[in-house]
Amino acid sequence: MLNRAHETGGNAKALNVFWRKLWKLDIPAKVKVFGWRLNHGILPVLCNLRKRGIDIQDCFLRSRQEGQSVMHVIKRCSEADEIWRMVQCGDEWICNELDSETGWLSKVAELVDKNSLELGIMTSWMIWHNRNIEIKTRETRKAEDMVAFIRRYLEEYKDAQTHPSSNLKQVKHSWTTPENGFVNANFDGTLRTEEGICGIGVVIQDATGKVRGACMTIMRNAGDLTIA
């Protein structure tokens, strides 16, 4: 009984160290929250959903073994395994000895440095995020494209933290009335980089400010903001 209490206390102490380390990482907040859920083993994979009495139809799975466990989705399936071997963030991430449905990240965190931990959690998040997109759209992305995206996303995020946009000069634009017989076409776009989806909207107004037309469209596989 005393040994078990000592072990529980040791695990709690190790987890507290991991949580403090996690929240200090230079990665987006949503990825930190994902890391917290991953380490607790509470991602909505098939086995966890069935524990809660939720049955999932085969059409929502990529394969018959899809989603059987957290480790299967994040590490053991062929798609995830290929990404881990390409991203090269350390042998600790691909070895099977540390695999566990709960506490996997905290175990790896004890063995790797800050840069490896950031890259590993970003990789885990991207594998999970891409898995969800694939289930929804049935669109697949190449492993090399995902690895390039992970590294670019992490680099751009860190650069933004070092050089925040608040230091940039703000330029204000206002709508101007066109000449009689002409119209103004005002447009804007936004890009969800994780999904490669771009949304574009256009509003056409005449010289009196009356809206003469409007439209919007969604583009998939958008690579950067210049397309948006």
Residue 203, beta-bridge partner list: 186, 214
SS3 198: strand
Task: Sketch the domain layout of the chain as residue ranges.
Answer: 2-165, 172-228
- Rounded CA-CA distance 164/69 in Å is 39
Q: Which long-range contacts (CB under 8 A, 24 or more apart) does 161-169 make?
A: 161/26
The confidence score (pLDDT) of residue 226 equals 52
The confidence score (pLDDT) of residue 6 equals 35
Tokens of 83: 């990404």
Q: Which of 227, 164, 144 is nearest to 192 (CA)?
A: 227
E-state strands within the chain? 184-192, 197-205, 211-220
On whether the CB atoms of residues 189 and 200 are closer than 8 A, the answer is: yes
Handedness of CA 142, 144, 150, 156 (dihedral sign): negative
The confidence score (pLDDT) of residue 3 equals 40
On whether the CB atoms of residues 211 and 201 are closer than 8 A, the answer is: no
pLDDT per position in the chain (228 positions), as tens? 434 333 344 467 777 888 999 999 999 999 999 999 999 999 988 887 878 787 765 544 555 555 578 999 999 888 899 999 999 988 999 998 988 889 999 999 999 999 999 999 999 999 999 888 887 787 888 999 999 999 999 999 998 888 765 555 555 666 677 888 888 888 888 777 666 677 888 888 888 888 888 888 887 766 555 544
The confidence score (pLDDT) of residue 50 equals 78
- Rounded CA-CA distance 26/212 in Å is 47
Burial class (CB in 10 A: 0-12, 13-18, 19+), 117: buried
Residue 18, beta-bridge partner list: none
E-state strands within 135-196? 184-192
The confidence score (pLDDT) of residue 44 equals 86
The confidence score (pLDDT) of residue 152 equals 94
Tokens of 105: 């990240």
- Rounded CA-CA distance 197/192 in Å is 5
